[in-house]
A and B are shown apart, each in its own frame.
Chain A
Amino acid sequence: MGEIVLQTFGLTKAFRGFVAVNNVDLAVRRGTIHALIGPNGAGKTTVFNLLTKFHQPSAGRIVYDGIDITGERPAATARRGLVRSFQISATFAQMTARENVRVALQRAQGLAFHFWRSERALDALDDRALALLADVGLADFAEVRAADLPYGRKRTLELATTLALDPRMLLLDEPTQGMATEDVDRIKALIKRIAANRTILMVEHNMSVVADISDTITVLQRGEILAEGPYHIVAEVPAVRAAYMGGGHG
C-alpha cells in the first residue's frame, strides 16, 4: 500500500445545528480504490462536497498531497488534480459528447479566456477528445448531444470528461447509480482500469461493485466512521452487518 495522499483530521460539517459529518478522520492511500459506504443520510455526499470544497467544513482540516486545502476554492482544488463526479449525471447537455470532453481538455490548453480567437483553435484537441471517447466506448456517440444520450452513456461521458483532465485522484459519487446490470459491469471494469495509475475514492451503494474492486472500505453512519478496512474484515463487523449490510443491500 502506498503513502497517504488524502487525509482529513476531525472533519465536521453542521447545517443549522444538524451535524451531517462529525469528526471524520479519513485516510486514502495512493493508488488504491477506496469506497465510502453507509445508509442514506450517513453523510457520504457531504464528505465529498467537503473534500472537493463545494462546502466549507465547520471544523477540521483536509490535507491533499501534503498541502492543506481546507480553505481553498473548489476550482483551485480541481486544478490540483483532485476531481469529482456528481451523483446525478453531470454533463453539458446542449453540447455534443466531443465538445463535452473538449471543455475539460481546454483548461490545460490555456485559451479559456481568449474571446477574440476562433473556436477553430480548439480543433487541435479533437483527436484527443475522440481518443478519450473511444477509450470508454463512446466513439459512435461523438457528435450526439449529451442531452440525447441514454442514461448509462451520460455517466460514461462524465467519466471520459473527468479523465480528460488526467486527474491524479478521482472522487466518484455513486458511479453506477440507476444503471442496468450490463452497464454496471462496464463501468466497474472501466473504474478498475483507470485506477491503474490513480487514486479513487468512491461513494457506492452497489455492494457487488464495492466488494469486487475496492481495496479499502470506510463505513459511515450518522456522519461518523463506523468501521474501516478491506471488504472481508468490514463485512464481519457486527455493527456494520446490523446497520447496513444486513439490511438487504447487495
Chain B
Amino acid sequence: MSSTLRLFWLFVAAAILVPFFPQIVYPIFMMKVLCYGLFACAFNLLLGYTGLVSFAHAAFLGSAGYVTGALMIRHADRIGTEVAILAGVATAAAIGAVIGGLAIRRKGIYFAMITLALSQIVYFLAVQFRWTGGEDGLQGIPRGRLFGLVDLTSDNAIYGFTLVVFVAGFLLVHRIIHSPFGQILRAIRDNEPRAISLGYDTDRFKLLAFVLSAAVAGLAGALKALVFQLVSLNDVSLHTSTEVVLMTLLGGLGTIWGPLVGAALVVGLQNYLATLGDMVTIVIGLIFIVCVSFFRLGLVGEFLRLRKSA
C-alpha cells in the first residue's frame, strides 16, 4: 500500500471517531468538509492531472443535487436513496458529456470560457424550471432509506453514509489517477502534441476525464443535498465554481490530499469566521493572495516539496 493510502485510512479512522466527540469537531461540519472535499477531488482530477480549467463544476454539483433532491421529495416512499443518487450522478455525467464535448474543441482560456458560458445556461435553467424550486431551491429533502432498508434520517446514519460515499469517491479518483488511463492523462497534461504524435486521440481522453470528473462532482452534489436536505441556486452558481478552484489551489494542485485539505480550510474559515459576515470573503481572498504569492504549490504541495528536499 502506498504511503498516501496509509495516510488516507488513518484519516478515515479519525473521521469515524468524530460523532463520538462532537465537542471537538461538529459532525455536520465534518460532513460539509467531506462533500466539498470530494467535489474538489473531482475538480483536481481535471485541472491537476489533465490540465483542463473548468468553470462548470458547480453545474455538475448542483444539477446532481437538484435531481437527487427532487426525486427524494416526490418518490422517497417508492425508491431507495441509492437510486436518487445514481440518477443525480448520471445527470451530472450527461451534462458533463455535453459541456465537455463542446468545450474540448478549444484550448486554454477558450476552453474555460466555453465551460463558463454553458454552466450559466444550467444556472438559468435552474432558475426557470418549476421542479427546481427557482429562487427557493429545494428544501426539506427527505434522506430516505438506503436499498429500502437502512434509514438515513438519524444524524449518525447519514454521517456514516457520507463517510462511506466519500471514501468510495476518493478511492475512485485515486484509482483513475493511478491507472493506465491516468498515465495518458499525465502525458497529455505534460505535452499534448507529443501524445498525439504517439497515436493517442487526445480529445477522447480529455472527454472521458471530463465526464468522470463531472460524475464525481455530481456524487458530491447528491450527497450534499441529502446531508443538508437542501439544494439552492448557490450550488449551481459561478461562485461555487470559483470556490472549488480556490480550494484546490490552496490545498495543492495535482496532489491527492490537496483538495481535501483546501476544502477543510475554506469550509473551516467560513464556519469559524461566520461572525464576521461578509468579511469572510476578504479574509479568504487575502489568504489566497498569500498562497499564490508565497506557497504556489499549495499547502500539501509545499509540504511535499519540503519533505523531498529535506
Hey, which bits of chain A sit against chain B, CB under 8 A?
Answer: 52, 54, 73-76, 78-79, 83-86, 90-95, 99, 102-104, 106-107, 109, 111-119, 121-122, 161-162, 165
Question: Is B180 touching A119 in the complex (CB atoms < 8 A)?
Answer: yes
Question: Is A112 touching B186 in the complex (CB atoms < 8 A)?
Answer: no
Q: A90-B197, A95-B186 are in contact. List 17 more A-B contacts (CB 8 A).
A: A52-B197, A75-B201, A90-B193, A90-B194, A91-B191, A91-B194, A92-B190, A92-B194, A103-B187, A106-B183, A111-B180, A112-B181, A115-B180, A115-B182, A118-B178, A119-B179, A165-B198
Q: A93-B190, A95-B186, A115-B212 are in contact. Are A107 and B200 (CB under 8 A)?
A: yes
Q: A75-B202, A113-B208 are in contact. Are A92 and B191 (CB under 8 A)?
A: yes
12 CB-based A-B contacts, threshold 8 Å:
A73-B201, A83-B199, A90-B194, A90-B197, A94-B189, A95-B183, A115-B176, A115-B179, A116-B176, A117-B179, A117-B181, A118-B179
CA distance A118 to B179 in the complex (A): 5
Interface residues on B, range: 20 to 34
Closest to A147 in B: B190
Residue of A83, A90, A91, A103 near B184 (CB, 8 A) is A103
Q: A74-B196, A79-B199 are in contact. Are A119 and B178 (CB under 8 A)?
A: yes
Chain A proximity mask over B203-238: 1 for CB below 8 Å, otherwise 0 = 011001000100000000000000000000000000
Quick one: which of B186, B193, B198, B205 has the most chain A CB within 10 A? B198
Quick one: which of A86, A104, A112 has the most chain B CB within 10 A? A112
Question: Is A161 touching B198 in the complex (CB atoms < 8 A)?
Answer: yes
Q: A52-B197, A165-B198 are in contact. Are A112 and B184 (CB under 8 A)?
A: yes
Shortest beta-carbon distance from B69 to chain A in Å: 29
Residue of B175, B187, B204, B208 near A92 (CB, 8 A) is B187
Hey, which bits of chain B sit against chain A, CB under 8 A?
Answer: 175-176, 178-184, 186-187, 189-191, 193-202, 204-205, 208, 212
Residue of A91, A93, A121, A162 near B180 (CB, 8 A) is A121
Q: A106-B180, A114-B179 are in contact. Are A95 and B190 (CB under 8 A)?
A: yes
Question: Is B187 touching A95 in the complex (CB atoms < 8 A)?
Answer: yes
Shortest beta-carbon distance from A104 to chain B in Å: 5
Question: Is B186 touching A92 in the complex (CB atoms < 8 A)?
Answer: yes
Question: Is A102 touching B197 in the complex (CB atoms < 8 A)?
Answer: no
Residue of B180, B195, B200 near A122 (CB, 8 A) is B180
